[in-house]
Amino acid sequence: MHQHWGSEVEFVDVVIRQAHPGPDVPTYHSFEQKMRDAEKYKREDRIAWAVLVDDLPGTTHQVYGGLADPTYIIDAEGRVAFYSLWTHAPTLHTSLEMLRTQGWRGVVNGGVDKRPHVAAAMTDGWKGLRRGLPQSLIDIETAAPTTGVGTWLGFQLRPLIAPLTLRAKPLPASARLGLGVGAAALLLFGVRALTRNRKSYVSENRRLKARPRGHR
């Protein structure tokens, strides 16, 4: 996103809270601690844009809705043109294109995207979780069972699925059609496999029931 839009759009990250606290990344108890963590985040993740730090109570975070992973697009007049409850680069890319055609002013793309874009989080979310291990994994599995394990699995498959789940632009119509056909074929294959297994099980069960008992 930044590579494509950095010359036209000012990017800003805001550090709000410790999303997945653990032994090495505890919950923030001072603003200085929050500042050090922001500096570490910018350095280790090689962030090329500004990283700001919310105050300790999270005033800015609350003003902007207190969401876990939002992205806001602010227009040239300082108004919210669009926001995504779950950061999703292709949707943001489309919204920025629309905003540019409007002279960088006004609401675009319906103003909000409330869809849960889980695929990106499952592919890239383990980086945040592993900083707080083991407590972070215990907490997320307690709150939402299988989420942490699923995030770990998604990260293992990252080389395979990242070009799709972490793409910066929307997929072309032909690619979406191809994925839809592939998913339908995979689903059909799975249903047929389950049906064959069920028929084999029923047939074997009937054969065993019909077999004469041997003499003792």
Q: What is the DSSP string of 117-150?
A: -HHHHHHHTHHHHHHTTTHHHHHHHHHSTTHHHH
Q: Are residues 82 and 103 in the same domain?
A: yes
Task: Compute the distance between CA of residue 200 and CA of residue 207 in angstroms, rounded to an integer.
Answer: 10
CATH number for the domain including 114? 3.40.30
CB 117 within 8 A of CB 145: no
pLDDT at 215: 47
The reply to whether 155 and 127 lie within a common domain is yes
193 and 126 part of one domain = no
**Residues 178, 164 within the same domain:** no
Stronger pLDDT, 76 or 180, i.e. the higher one: 76
> 164 falls in which pLDDT band (50, 70, 90)?
confident
157 and 208 belong to one structural domain: no
Angstrom CA distances, 188 to 99, 181, 185, 193, 194, stand at: 41, 10, 5, 9, 10
Question: How far is Cα 169 from Cα 30, in angstroms, rounded to an integer?
Answer: 38
pTM: 0.76
pLDDT tens-digit series, residues 126-143: 999 999 999 999 999 999
Average pLDDT, the chain: 85
Residues 92 and 105 in one domain: yes
Which residues are CB-contacts of 31 (< 8 A; sequence separation ≥ 6)? 53, 55, 56
Q: Are 118 and 136 in contact (CB under 8 A)?
A: no
Residue 106 and residue 80 in contact, taking contact as beta carbons nearer than 8 Å: no
The answer to whether residues 46 and 110 belong to one domain is: yes
168: confidence class by pLDDT, cuts 50, 70, 90? confident
Report whether 20 contacts 11 (CB < 8 A): no
Q: Which amino acid is at 172?
A: P
pLDDT in tens, 86-138: 999 999 999 999 999 999 999 999 999 999 888 888 899 999 999 999 999 99
Range of the domain at 41: 2-171
In order of 136, 137, 148, the CA distances from 133 in angstroms are 5, 6, 11
Query: Residue 201: which pLDDT band, with cuts at 50, 70 and 90?
Result: very low
